[in-house]
Every structure is written in structure tokens, then in C-alpha cells.
Structure 1
Amino acid sequence: MTYAVNLYFNKEAEHYITNIWRKLEGLEKGKCLICHNSRPHITLAIYNDLDLAVTKERLKSLIRDVYSFHLKFLQIGIFPHNKGAIFLTPNLTDDLFRIHRHFHERFKDFEKQGWDYYKPQSWYPHCTLSLETPTEAIPSVLEEILKVFRPMEVTITSMGIVSLDPIDYLFEIELGKASDLAP
């Protein structure tokens, strides 16, 4: 079974992105993300197989030192190859790369099962808006996105594990809040 480890956003950001997905659903020019039980996220890693018990414990250990953090979605990007994806690109903060790096350090023993696009030095963090978009449909899908797109700040609030195809949410854990750090 294939598993993804994802970062999730505050509710306002989820609502904003889900509304874009609803608009795109009507175009019927790619995979319907809402129809497949998807939830807005940034993927840290995808694995062809994982030991779920070990993964849950390592995630609990990892987030002891990880606090919620902010990102900005200021631009739209495209992966035109493979399955044509259109996505929001976050600003590339130290917090984002730190959590990615620490995650992969703790999961080195699963590296062979990991998808190359999500490994350190190969990762392009993104939040998918349209997936499996035929190349010829990309301009019209972008046009729809641009009608509603506005730059926004999001807060990364949790991390979770899902199985893919079909998507099943297996485990989620809230990140601490920076305000929880008492002086």
C-alpha cells in the first residue's frame, strides 16, 4: 500500500483551497480532488510501504520540537509532465525545510520505499489545485484559478499519514503553538 505524510493547514486556508477545487470540478479537466476525499496539504514524503506503528511513534517524537508555522502562497506553478499538476507554491522558509529535513532524517531506513520527488534535494513543496490535467486544458484551468486566486498566508497546524488510492486518513497529530513556549 502507498502512504503519504502530509502537512495540513488552518481551517480558513483549507476552506479557500477547497473552494478552488469546487470551481475546477465543474470544468471536468482533471482529477476531481474533492471527489477523491482529498484535503489541502503539502506532502513531505510518499512511500510504497511503511510500518504504520513505527511511523506514528516517530511522528510523535518529531513534533515534540516542531511548532505551527506560517507560509505564504504567492504564486501558482505547473508540473506539465507526467500527470499535469497545477499548484500553489509556498514561500520557502527555514521552518518548512527544517521539518522536511528532520522528517527524512528520522525515516532514513524507509528511503528505498520513498518516491524520489519528495526526497531532500529533489523536493518542490506545493499544494495541488489540479491533478491529471491534460496539457491542452492547462490554459483554461489556469484561467479559472486566476479568477479567484489571491495571495494568502496559511498556518501549518498538523501532520498526518494517509493511504492512497483510495485516500484514507490514518493518523493526524497537531503541531504545538509557538505561544505554548513559556519564557
Structure 2
Amino acid sequence: MFGLIALFDEKTEELIKDIWRELTERSISAYAGEVVDRKPHITFASYNNLNLSDFIEQMDVTYNNQSVIDIKFSTIGSFLSSGALFFAPTVTKDLRELHSNHHRDFERFNDHPHSLYLPDNWIPHCTIANRLSAEKLNEAFNYCSKRTSAIFGKIVEVALIDVSEIGKAPIIYSKELKK
């Protein structure tokens, strides 16, 4: 299994990692430590199997001239019956286009026709905590809603990750966006 993720500028990444650490220190969520070297991100696509060399070649073509895009997180959300808490970005034209252009250009790789990351199913989000009890979800929500105001950042890179092995999600290839 593979994922295509959008990565943030250093300041935004560190702010979200700080929140992950604080939730761990308060014994609310251990999400940050569940995956080695986890990075804050927004998932754009998922794939069961890939021809890596073809996919990477397409990443070079698609993202070669893609500019960095601004992102703003001002919403906290949860998926129903999931125990997940996330920051949701404002869905701007640039974010929609980045996502839809990916799916247009990578359509031949789509081997998961019911993926939650396809354009008509996608709910963009950056996970803050996962698999929480109702009590811990409430604690995490209350903490995060008081911890920070809107987060202004940038998507500066896209990366292909391998999520085949539990506890690991190494970056196989990444492409920095134009500044």
C-alpha cells in the first residue's frame, strides 16, 4: 500500500508536531509515536500496488512546475465513529486543483476505485489524534481548540510513502514544489 501526501513548511510542521507531543505528554493520544518519523500531512491518494518507476516519472512531470500553495487550518473535526481528530484546511481553489490535477494525471494508477481520497470522496485533513475513546476524543478536542488559533502555512512538497508495514511509512520519493 502506498500514499501520496502533501507536506508542509517547516514552521507549520513543527507547530503540529508540538501539538502531537503535548497530547502525548498529557496522556491523551500517542498518535505521534505510532509511526516512525511520522510527518504532519494531508493525504491526496492511496494505491494498493504501483509500478514505482512509472509513478515517480509521472510525479516529476506533474509536479515539476507546481508552485507552493498557501494553506489555512481553522477547523477541528472528527470522522463519525472513528475516534479521529483532525485539523481541516480551508478548501481553496488552489488546494482543490492540486488534488484534482493529481487524480487526473495519475488516473492510470488508480487501483482503489472506492478510495476515500478520490475527488468526490475526499475530505482534506491533517490527523492530530486517532483511535481515541469518546472521553479522550473530547479531551483532545478541548485541548486543541484552546491550544491554537488558525494555522497559516504552505504545502511545499509532495511525497510518495510506503504504508505496507505497520509502524512505518517511509518516504520513497518526494518532489519539492516551486517557491
Decide: shared fold, TM above 0.5: yes
The residue type equivalent to 2:60 in the other structure is K
* Aligned position for 1:58: 58
CA contact (8 A) 2:49 2:111 kept: no
Q: RMSD of aligned C-alpha atoms?
A: 1.6
Displacement after TM superposition at 1:27 (Å): 4.0
The residue type equivalent to 2:152 in the other structure is E
SS at match of 1:116: coil
Distance 1:51 1:103 in 2: 17
Structure 1 runs (4+) deviating above 6 angstroms are none
The normalised TM-score by structure 1 is 0.88
Share of identical aligned residues, percent?
A: 26
Displacement after TM superposition at 1:111 (Å): 1.9
Q: Does 1:168 align with 2:170?
A: yes
Matches within 5 A, 1:16-95: 16-36=15-35, 37-81=37-81, 83-95=82-94
Q: Runs of 5+ in structure 2 lacking a partner?
A: none
After TM superposition, the structure 1 stretch with the greater mean CA deviation from structure 2, 113-122 or 57-66, is 113-122
Change (3 A) 1:47 1:78: same
CA contact (8 A) 1:80 1:135 kept: no
After TM superposition, the structure 1 stretch with the greater mean CA deviation from structure 2, 111-120 or 156-165, is 111-120
- Number of matched pairs: 175
The residue type equivalent to 1:8 in the other structure is L
Distance 2:100 2:69 in 1: 16
Distance 1:167 1:62 in 2: 23
The normalised TM-score by structure 2 is 0.90
- 1:53-78 CA distance string (max 9 Å, x none): 11111111011231001011111111
Distance 2:100 2:65 in 1: 13
* Aligned position for 1:181: none
The residue type equivalent to 1:46 in the other structure is S
- 1:35-94 CA distance string (max 9 Å, x none): 41210011101112222111111111011231001011111111132x321111111111
SS at match of 1:117: coil
CA contact (8 A) 1:6 1:41 kept: yes
